[in-house]
Chain A
């Protein structure tokens, strides 16, 4: 039981970022390896609002969402828009370089000291023998609500329909008169907001430091790939799989190896089910 609770908390941190990664992948057609960097930006934005400015954590989380969305839009305008139409491999390489730049901008501004939020110490809630910290509960609920909201927008609203149209066939969408660049901009904004949310949740659960950039990237992309790179639901399922795999690993190996689980999980899933758990076949050129 305790394992299930811990796994849910791990999954809730990864899920919003995995959904954001999937959104970028389907809209723009490249794997954005700067995912971890944007999550880290969110974590540091929330930390600044919470610890430096003394705002309550809920407000800090909103600040993080706004800051990360803005950072994402700025990076898209400066880095990716001039490269529209280049191959996926090129964009992927550029996103790694961007991640490296962002990580070092954070190092430059904040140093490498590990930081934590200013949280009041509260006793965990006990349900029978299972202990849930209030923070973990808040993390799971927040992530679930955010993903449900994004899923609903994608499924039912006009802008959601436009997003799906552009991700299916941008050329056709343009011919039919959709403002493709505006739709892409909106997608970028939503993805940035989700990365910012993940960043806040990471800070609640773990320590914050610039090295998160790389430690978060692998599990987030692993979750998205395991889920099949098709839908928010898939990304969430992938995050749950990775979360459980991480918790079960701790029973066998020492905790530092949690980070390696994503790598093994991808390998295992891709060998057995190359299209991911809930995915279309993504073996595209």
Chain B
């Protein structure tokens, strides 16, 4: 197998895990998390610092990453979950910014913008180059499989039904005696922990992480994967991640055709294409490639209450 292809598949696997986690938070529960890169970066650095600075084995580093991701998720959720979606969106965005500032400025811990190198590998020594990249891909796919099965079972269980009910209208499950806040908190914390686990696998894969690895473009790619694949459908969002990363990686090869642009302009152009594609997807295919299955609730858009711009049938008009 071609080394480039293996590396693309590995990265796609990591993005698919991130997108599944976001799907639990937004696709099922309706929680807008713009801080994906915050949890992802936190997991990467937690795992890296755990293994390099404190000499833990890889599995312990992964466990530390998951624990810190869950803890950060709990703090963010407790601060903002009682409020409407817009607030969660800005608090999570602020959280991601704050994580980036800490990673950049606390040199003593993270070595700042120079990058943090990680020598600990999860795989046995002595494998050849090809064998070791292939087994790393296997490891990522294993995590992807575990997360997928877990979330798919959750989605099909009564638990998932409650989450979807909360997404549609939280008054109904509350009336039925469900602890809406508790469910939201659990969904957010579990999602954040999974994002941190993805960060840990990413860190030990690339072996040098800098704060720049965890900025907006990553968050946009994850959101794009979710929307293109179909929010609320686990298979869909994995497919979405594959499609989006393929498009993004494929767009590398446009550079030779545009020789008058410098490297920075090419990279900006690729991001413009991704952003425009996301906006067009929302406009023309809001349900994505694989819409939510019929045995689930109707997609959020269709079930949304009438827009503020249409006259509501039930509203008396004092003329």
Interface residues of chain A, those whose CB is within 8 Å of chain B, are: 29-31, 33, 79, 82-90, 92-94, 96-98, 100-101, 103-105, 107-108, 111-112, 169-172, 174-175, 180, 214-215, 217-218, 221-222, 225, 254, 256-257, 259-260, 262-264, 266-267, 270-271, 274, 282-285
Contacts and interface: CB of A to CB of B under 8 A. Distances in A.
B82 interface: yes
B84 A282 contact: yes
B90 A218 contact: yes
Interface string B283-319: 1001000000000000011001101111110010101
Contacts of B98: 259-260, 263
A265 to B, nearest CB: 9
7 contacts: A84-B309, A96-B220, A101-B276, A172-B317, A218-B90, A222-B94, A260-B101
Interface SS majority for chain B: helix
A92 B309 CA distance: 17
Contact of A90 (B268, B271, B282): B282
Given A89-B32, A171-B315, A108 B269 contact: yes
B264 A107 contact: yes
Contacts of B283: 82-83
B154 to A, nearest CB: 21
A254 B309 contact: no
Contact of B275 (A98, A112, A170): A98
Contacts of A33: 34, 89-90, 93
B249 interface: no
Shortest 9 CB-CB contacts between residues of A and residues of B: A263-B94, A85-B307, A101-B275, A108-B268, A107-B268, A104-B268, A260-B98, A104-B271, A31-B86
Contacts of B93: 33, 214, 217-218
A92 B93 CA distance: 12
Interface string B198-230: 000000000000000000110010010001000
A270 B279 contact: no
Interface of B: 30, 32, 34, 79-80, 82-87, 89-91, 93-95, 97-98, 101, 104-105, 169, 216-217, 220, 223, 227, 264-265, 268-269, 271-272, 274-276, 278-279, 282-283, 286, 300-301, 304-305, 307-312, 315, 317, 319
Contacts of B276: 101
Most chain A beta-carbon neighbours within 10 Å: one of B97, B105, B265, B311: B97
A262 B94 contact: yes
B91 A267 contact: yes
Most chain B beta-carbon neighbours within 10 Å: one of A93, A214, A262: A93
A87 B300 contact: yes
Contacts of B101: 256-257, 259-260
Contacts of A96: 34, 220, 223
Contacts of A215: 97
Contacts of B220: 96-97, 100
A89 B272 contact: no
A284 B85 CA distance: 9
B213 to A, nearest CB: 16
Contacts of A174: 309, 311
A259 B97 contact: yes
A284 B104 contact: no
Contacts of A274: 82-83
A73 B98 CA distance: 32
Contact of B80 (A103, A259, A267): A267
